Each structure stands twice: as structure tokens, then as C-alpha cells.
Structure 1
């Protein structure tokens, strides 16, 4: 039975009407199954999604899931898989690596846990990353280089990510690492059965292919 117009104006209605605090339910099951659905369409709550809030890298998880599902459509000149790759790597340049080894706090935070089970975000992330490798996707052109250059100590995931994000913003960098190869704990701390080295090498090389990132391996600083 539909809700009358008068009832729809009463304050008892749910977060779908977008009032501050209305989305702070302790149990998402009530929102999904017991909320009033009489509106023509839901109004999105302008807050960080639980999955994204649980991601240390701050990936826009909801965004690339919608692209993979075909809900959000890419521009005419970009394929769906590449568009999802671009959205994911706005935050994290290692989708194949993280899809394999991340402990997935995003899945712990997923509100589907209150209904049945979490969305398999890690598997989707790995799919996007592996597709990017097989299809040889590259990053869009970065900003033009300015006159600033940054020294980065350590060529592990943090150092490589720093170089990547600096370059996207127009800053050159030099990575110093005492090992002969870049990768840090991704290379020297993870066994090969968990982290295939060819996958790691390709994701690192994609970052280095951005003009303006210099590497000095075998160099200990301090």
C-alpha cells in the first residue's frame, strides 16, 4: 500500500529523504527492508560510503563497482574496463597487487554484511587490474611538469604511490632504494605464490612509464 502525500511530509520517514543523521542506523537491514520506499527515487546521502571509508587507500569503490556492473557508462572513446581501471587508480596504482594481498577492510565495512554477505570487492579489484595488464592499459596524460622535484626514500608501495600521485600533479621525483629492484615488501616480503612477480613488475613499470620519475636503486640514504 502506498504512503499518502500527508504522511510523506511527516518527520518519521527514513534517510531516503536526506536529513542529516537519518542514515546513521545501527542496522542496515532496517534501512533496506523496513525503510519507506514510496518516493519516486532514493536521494543519495552525501557521506562517504562504508566500503570506501574502510579502505586505507580511499578507493572510490562504489564508483568502479558501478562501472563494472554497467550502471555508470564510460565516455564514448573509452571502454568499460579501462574506465573502471581509471576510476580505481585515481587512488591506488596497484589494483592487481592489492586485489591479491589486501586484507580487505572494505569488505568488513560493507553494509551488505547486515543483509547476507559482503560484496567481493577484492575479486573485482583484481579483475580490473589483471584486465589492465592483459590489455596494456596506460595512465591518462599527467599534468605538465613544473619546476619542482621531490626525493623519495624507498621504492616500496608507499614510495611508488607517492611518485605516481606527485607525477599526476605535475611534479617530478627521484626514488632512492637500497635494493636492486623496486617493490619493497611487495617484492621482498610476499611469497611468489601470493604475489606473482610478473604482475608486480608490470604494475611498477606502468608507473615508471610516466615521464618524470627517476629511479636510483642500490642506493642507501642515511
Structure 2
């Protein structure tokens, strides 16, 4: 596969989404423009989470726009308190839900606690519609889809050679395959966004969507 073909595949995978350093800001602004008409809003850390959830919903035959459900990338978990405070008492204006990585769970927990009081367990967070990826979205998708299928997706996008190059680097040689894949997926913003869509499509087709994504969609 030549460079032009790889670029075309990358463009198709990101159709409808911005990429680059301003991707999250642009996506957040677009989502917030729809909030006044929304009946439910899902707060996520970044655009890859937005892409994953919207892809999963479409794969399940759902039209989130028609359902007036908006997924808002908030540009990092540190912003959760600001967003929740700006919405007023939790759940009074619209249904709320959210998704975060394991390392950001405490930030989400504190933001929610400021609105509703103590939230001692993850089950309490889930009761409010907020779910945690362990360890992150990429890890959830790799475990759900399986390493063999992930490599097949890399190959289909012309990226398997680049992945093999990463595996041969001294810092990554001999590391667990899952860890190498997580590093590869997160090593560029466009790659992270592209594979959020591609791996979720595989997960939906095989009915192995990671629990946090599956449960969050069921909650809204």
C-alpha cells in the first residue's frame, strides 16, 4: 500500500471529524452548539471517546442526533467540575452521562461529588451514568477485539510495517504485545482518532463492545 492509499484510508476513517491540535476545541464547540436542544448529554475526555461512542451507537442502529443525545469532548478530565457546575443541579436540565479513563476516575468522582455529595464507589458513579475505562479506551478495545484482530486492522490500513518498527525499538522490544499496541495507537492524534472508529466497528460487528461503552449507551 502506497502513501497516497494510506492517506485516503485515514481520511475516510476521520470523515466528519476534525483532527490536529485544535480537534478537541472544534469538536467541543460543535457539540455545545447542539446542547440547548438536547435531552441527554454525555461528557467525555476527548475526541477519540466521542468517535468511539458515536461509532458504537451507529453500529447498533441508533441515530444520536435524532434522539437529541449530544456527546461533548471536554478537553480533558480536569474540566469535568467546570462543566458540571455550569449545568446546574445534576440531571435537572437533561440526562447526563460520562466516560473517563482509570487514571482520571478521581477527577470525575470529585466533580460529581461536588454536585450530589459523596460517591464512595465506582458503582455509585455508574448509577449516575458515568463509566470508567480500564485502563483507557485503547486498552478496552485491544482486550475486547483481541491482538490478532488488532494486527489485522493495522494491516488493512497499511500500518502493520510501522507497528513492527515500533516493536523493534529498544524501548519497546520484548514488551507485552498489548502494551506495544497501546503505545502505537496513542503515538499520534490522527492515529488515535482513526483507530477509535476502526476498532469499535470491529467490536460492534463481533458483538464484543467493551462494557463501559456498552453500558453508557444503554444508560442514555
Q: With the length of structure 1 as denominator, give the TM-score of the two structures.
A: 0.24
Q: Which has the higher contact order (CA 8 A, sep 6+)?
A: 2
Normalized per residue, the structure richer in helix is 2
